[in-house]
Amino acid sequence: MLDLLTGDAQAFLTKTWASRVHVHHTEPAALTGLLGLADVDRLLTSSAIRTPAVRVARDGAVLPESGYTRGGSLAGRPLTGLVDPAKLLGLLDDGATVVLQGLQRYWPPLADLVAQLELELGHPCQANAYLTPPGAQGFAVHSDSHDVFVFQTHGTKLWEIDGAELLLEPGVVAYLPTGTPHAARAQESMSLHVTLGINQLTWRALVERAVAEAVAQVPGTHLPAGYLQDPSVLTEGLAPHLAAVADAVRAQAPGAVAERQVRRFLTSRPPRLAGSLVDRVALAALDRDTRLERRPGVPCVLEDADDRLRVLLGDRVLVVPARLRPALEEVARRDTLVPGDLEGVLDLPSAVVLCRRLVREGLLRIA
């Protein structure tokens, strides 16, 4: 799905990452199908969506939640922050912009896209959508603390980006690096656009984490009394601790620090289990020729651990016998397979058992 957004994803991201604004054109249907006006209608008027998944802005100001929410109850327990469709549509009629936040948590097409983008970049990502009535502008000129991909799925919007203008319409993707000043105004019809925010992990954060591991070895004992009158007491006590931290930092192998970062990222993503209930029902019939596919956005990274094998699955680690490495390497390199494809490295009963396990774990799904 990522190539629908960017064409050649790797080339596009490499070229644009350090550049200023970049515009890319693709087939409109590749983007409009991710979140359409009817989808937003259903979320706002026919679901129990709550704040903070929704916020509203008008003329550069965020409106109070009390103006578009209500209370309710479920199984006798109170619910707060429920979006009131009548109030919300009234604000929309009056020129307000409705923002759907964190769509990667509850809208499957964008959840798939964000998960794939995270694996492509190695940075956490998020998806928001902005619904703006004709001629209205939700926010004044501002800049974001993260990189942004933006694309239109309904109507058109005129963007002012770093002093230049860009008309965003379905099929156009814009990339705005961190800190790029921008504002946008809907044109003649209702406008719906999606932003993909890239919350960059930095070299500083990686180094700080490595240094923090060394600092954690320093004793937590109190500073000596009397150091205000005699700072040399601190000097004498501090010197060996600083030397120990410096030695510990120097002793850290960059490769080991990098491996810990990879493991941390690939075990801390949100679970990717959409459709797993249906798959579980179908597992009993899984056989040699059952067509399986890799679940979008789920990694399959293998790490040796003595006589075991760790499989990094995005939100957790699966530990299996090391003898399964050839079979899992085969799974990792394929987008689709049947259990019979693993017969070169496993006997058929073992291949079926492994595939069933990988379906349960969410790495594979039944096509």
Of the residues 179, 198, 217, the one at which a domain ends: 198
270 in any annotated domain: no
Among candidates 28, 54, 27, 30, which has minimal Cα distance to 40?
54
Report the distance separating Cα 257 and Cα 207, nearest Å. 9
Domain shared by 259 and 289, yes or no: no
Exposure b/e, 182-192, CB count within 10 A at least 16 = b: bebbbbeebbb
In the 8-state DSSP scheme, what is residue 363?
A: S
Domain shared by 59 and 148, yes or no: yes
Domain shared by 113 and 40, yes or no: yes
CATH number of domain containing 131: 2.60.120.650
Task: Confirm if 26 and 173 have CB atoms less than 8 A apart.
Answer: yes
150 in any annotated domain: yes
271 in any annotated domain: no
**How many Cα atoms sit within 13 Å of 367 on the Cβ side?**
11
Is the pLDDT score of 320 beyond 90? Answer: yes
Is the pLDDT score of 18 beyond 50? Answer: no
Assigned token pair, 275: 């459709």
Which pLDDT does position 80 carry in this prediction? 94
Domain shared by 95 and 223, yes or no: no
Domain shared by 102 and 133, yes or no: yes
Of the residues 175, 198, 221, the one at which a domain ends: 198
Q: How many folded domains does the chain comprise?
A: 3
Of the residues 198, 219, 234, the one at which a domain ends: 198
Domain shared by 169 and 24, yes or no: yes
Which pLDDT does position 254 carry in this prediction? 95
Domain shared by 238 and 326, yes or no: no
| pLDDT, mean of residues 89-100 | 97
**What angle is formed at CA 1 by the lines to CA 352 and CA 170, rounded to 5 degrees?**
155
Task: State which residues form the domain around 254.
Answer: 203-265
Domain shared by 65 and 138, yes or no: yes
Total-model pTM: 0.88
Domain shared by 105 and 228, yes or no: no
Which pLDDT does position 352 carry in this prediction? 97
**What angle is formed at CA 93 by the lines to CA 91 and CA 95, rounded to 5 degrees?**
75
The predicted-structure confidence for 150-203, as pLDDT tens digits, reads as follows: 999 999 999 999 888 999 999 999 999 999 999 999 999 999 999 999 999 999
120 in any annotated domain: yes
**Helix or strand or coil: residue 351?**
helix
Domain shared by 8 and 74, yes or no: yes
Residues whose CB is less than 8 angstroms from the CB of residue 347 and which lie 6 or more positions away in sequence, other chains included: none
Report the distance separating Cα 341 and Cα 362, nearest Å. 19
Considering Cα of 294, then 298, then 300, then 304, what sign does the dihedral take? negative
| pLDDT, mean of residues 341-359 | 97
Is the pLDDT score of 256 beyond 50? Answer: yes
Which pLDDT does position 317 carry in this prediction? 96
Report the distance separating Cα 351 and Cα 262, nearest Å. 28
Is the pLDDT score of 8 beyond 80? Answer: no
Confidence of residue 5 (pLDDT cuts 50, 70, 90): low
CATH number of domain containing 340: 3.90.930.40
Residues whose CB is less than 8 angstroms from the CB of residue 214 and which lie 6 or more positions away in sequence, other chains included: 244, 245, 248, 249, 252
Assigned token pair, 79: 């619910």
252 in any annotated domain: yes
Domain shared by 234 and 315, yes or no: no
* DSSP H/E element including 313: none
Domain shared by 333 and 215, yes or no: no
Neighbours of 282 (CB within 10 A): 12
360 in any annotated domain: yes
61 in any annotated domain: yes
Which pLDDT does position 162 carry in this prediction? 84
294 in any annotated domain: yes
